[in-house]
Chain A
Amino acid sequence: MASEYAIESAGLIKIYRSRWKRREVRAVDDISLRVPRRTIFGLLGPNGAGKTTFVKLLLSAVHPTSGSALLFGRDARDPEARRPIGYLPENHRFPTYFTGHGMLDFYSALSGLDPVRRKKLIPELLELVGLGQWGAVRIGKYSKGMLQRLGLAQALIHSPSLLILDEPTDGVDPVGRRQIREILTRFEEQGVTIFINSHLLAEVETFCRDVAILHKGKVALSGKMRELTAGKGYRLTVLNTPETLADNLVEQLRAQATSAASRDGVIDFQFPTRESANQAVDLLRAQRCEIEALSPTTSTLEDVFVRTVENGGR
Chain B
Amino acid sequence: MATIALIRDTFREAFARKIFWGLFGLSAAMILFFLFLLKIDLVEGGMATLSLFGQSTNRIADADRLIRGIYAGIATFLYTWGMFLSVFASAGLIPSVLEPGRIELLLSKPVSRTHILLGRYLGNILVISTNVVFLVLSVWTILGIKSGIWSPSFLIAIATTIFIFAVMLAVVVFVGVLFESAALATMISIALMVISAILAQTATMLRLLSSEWSRQLWRSLYYVLPKIWDVGRITLNAIQDRKFDDYVAVWSSALFAAIVLAGALRIFSKRDF
Contact = CB atoms under 8 A, between A and B. Distances in A.
A61 B103 contact: yes
B198 interface: no
Given A56-B104, A97-B13, A80 B110 contact: yes
B100 interface: yes
Interface majority SS on B: helix, strand, loop or mixed?
Answer: helix
Given A93-B99, A97-B13, A112 B110 contact: yes
A98 interface: yes
Contacts of A250: none
Interface majority SS on A: helix, strand, loop or mixed?
Answer: loop
A110 B5 CA distance: 7
A305 interface: no
A132 to B, nearest CB: 23
Nearest to A27: B272
B4 interface: yes
A97 B104 contact: no
A59 interface: yes
A182 interface: no
B201 interface: no
Given A56-B273, A61-B272, A91-B100, A111 B109 contact: yes
Contacts of B107: 59-61
Interface in B70-113: 96, 99-112
A contact residues, range: 20 to 34
A79 B109 CA distance: 7
Given A56-B273, A109-B4, A110-B5, A97 B15 contact: yes
Contacts of A164: 108
B1 A79 contact: no
Interface of A: 16, 56, 59-63, 79-83, 85, 87, 89, 91-98, 102, 106-107, 109-112, 114, 154, 164
Interface of B: 1-2, 4-6, 8-9, 12-13, 15-17, 96, 99-112, 115, 270, 272-273
